[in-house]
Every structure is written in structure tokens, then in C-alpha cells.
């Protein structure tokens, strides 16, 4: 009986999937002229939303039908748009302030922490169950989620400073955390991400502390990277010129 019910369920799922394929294929075929006139992945996504195709089960079928019937590669269009957006962010971030943070997750206790310069704890607590990145039992995903929170926080610093873009350097303990894995978050935050793997355990230590702290409790300007005082550099330069002049005399 159990085996029969499983077979029946599988049959219904297959039938449902087949019906979805038919629906998407028919709609794409009928809207071919309209779809061919759309030039960006964003426009295509909006079209999919209008036709109720922007769901986990329908959207992959929509992308397949686009490619099969109209030679439209949705993923490639999105990739092109992302590269263009990233290039613009990198250009806008030039000569802007840099944010510096330390991030770590701890899968064992299901927690994370993001710290700033001089040991400042900016944000820590337990992962929410609905966290889109962290997967229970996967330490790499815990560290990646923590780094993603650092990117989000850098975006809030950018908004606070009212600049179009900036760079965030994130120090992590896990070499599996890569900047390219954070591209979606970086594009959303309007920041350039640099990843540095080091042995500083400040964030990891805070991730194991009881309690929590919201990022809203943190003065965002304190997350800016420590920089040399320009006046000190100027004084040093003046002193060098003075000594050179004295030698010439």
C-alpha cells in the first residue's frame, strides 16, 4: 500500500510538471514577438511575473522555452548586466572610503558575528531559520552567510555616507569564502568586495558569546578602515623638504 501511494504521488507530480511545460511553452510561443523585443533579463523577468511564471517550478521552464524557441539566453543576459553593474560600482568606488570588517559563522552553535576595526562588535547573534545561505551542518555556508551580512552592513555604511559606492574588505577565517560568491549581495549593496583570509578570531569569538546585538545599534562610521591622518603625511613631507633644503645649503 505504501509503495502504491508513492507511485500515485509520483504520477501526479509528473502530470503536474508536464502541464506546466505545456502552459509555459504555449504562452512563450504566443508571446514570441513581444518577448523578442525585450532586451534585458529584468524585462524578461517582469514578463514572467505578469504571466505567473516567476516561481521556483515555473521559472526554469520559462528560461528553457526562451532559449529553445527564441534563442534568448536569460542567464547570459543577467550575467552581462551584472558585469556591467559591477564595473560601474568599481568605478564609483575609486577614491571613496573603505569599510573594514571581520566576519565569522559557527555552524555548531548556529551563530555569527561581524566586527569592525579595533575589535568593535557591530552585529552578532543566532542565524534565523530562514537564512538563505546558511545550511545546518555546513560550516562553509555559515561563514559565507556571515560574510554576506558584512556586505549588507557595508551597504548601510554607503547609504549613511551618501556615496554611490565604496569598497569593503572582509577578513575571514575560511578560505572557501570567495568574493564571487557574494556578488549578488555586493550588487545589491553597491559595494566592491575584497576578501582577506587571516587568523584573527575576533568575529569567531563574538559569534560564541551569549546574547545578540543588532547592526542598528552600531555607529556605522566606526566601520570605516583606519587611515593615516592626512595632516601627518603633510607634516612628514614638509619635514623631508626642509631637511633636503638644509642639505643643499
Distance CA 127, CA 29 (A): 44
Distance, first Cα to last Cα, the chain: 104
- How high is the pLDDT of residue 102? 98
- How high is the pLDDT of residue 233? 38
Walk along the chain (249 residues) in steps of 10 and give the mean pLDDT of each run.
51 76 96 96 97 96 97 96 94 94 97 97 95 94 98 98 97 97 95 97 97 97 74 35 37
Alpha-carbon distances, residue 180 vs 73, 99, 102, 144, 193 (angstroms): 21, 18, 18, 11, 9
- How high is the pLDDT of residue 231? 36
Angle at the Cα of 165 (from 163 to 171), degrees rounded to 5? 120
CA 93 to chain centre: 16
What are the phi and psi torsion angles at 171 (to 5°)?
-90, 130
- Encode 201-228: b = buried (16+ Cβ within 10 Å), e = exposed: ebbbbbbeeeeebebeebebeebbeeee
DSSP code of residue 192: E
Q: Are 143 and 175 in contact (CB under 8 A)?
A: no
Amino acid at each position: 500500500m505504501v509503495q502504491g501511494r508513492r507511485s500515485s504521488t509520483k504520477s501526479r507530480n509528473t502530470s503536474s510538471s508536464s502541464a506546466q511545460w505545456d502552459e509555459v511553452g504555449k504562452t512563450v510561443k504566443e508571446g514570441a514577438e513581444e518577448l523578442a523585443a525585450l532586451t534585458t533579463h529584468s524585462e524578461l523577468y517582469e514578463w514572467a511575473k505578469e504571466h505567473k511564471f516567476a516561481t521556483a517550478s515555473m521559472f526554469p521552464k520559462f528560461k528553457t522555452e526562451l532559449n529553445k524557441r527564441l534563442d534568448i539566453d536569460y542567464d547570459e543576459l543577467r550575467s552581462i548586466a551584472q558585469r556591467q553593474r559591477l564595473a560601474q560600482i568599481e568605478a564609483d568606488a575609486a577614491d571613496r572610503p573603505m569599510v573594514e570588517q571581520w566576519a565569522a559563522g559557527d555552524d555548531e552553535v548556529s551563530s555569527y558575528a561581524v566586527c569592525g576595526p579595533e575589535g568593535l562588535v557591530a552585529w552578532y547573534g543566532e542565524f534565523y531559520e530562514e537564512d538563505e545561505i546558511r545550511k545546518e551542518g555546513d560550516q562553509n555556508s555559515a561563514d559565507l552567510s556571515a560574510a554576506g551580512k558584512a556586505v549588507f552592513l557595508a551597504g548601510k555604511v554607503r547609504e549613511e555616507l551618501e556615496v554611490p559606492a565604496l569598497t569593503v574588505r572582509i577578513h575571514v577565517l575560511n578560505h572557501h569564502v570567495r568574493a564571487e560568491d557574494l556578488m549578488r549581495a555586493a550588487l545589491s549593496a553597491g559595494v566592491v568586495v575584497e576578501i582577506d583570509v587571516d587568523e584573527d578570531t575576533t568575529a569567531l569569538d563574538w559569534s560564541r558569546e551569549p546574547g545578540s546585538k543588532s547592526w542598528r545599534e552600531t555607529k556605522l562610521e566606526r566601520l570605516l578602515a583606519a587611515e593615516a591622518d592626512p595632516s601627518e603625511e603633510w607634516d612628514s613631507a614638509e619635514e623631508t623638504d626642509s631637511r633636503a633644503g638644509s642639505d643643499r645649503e
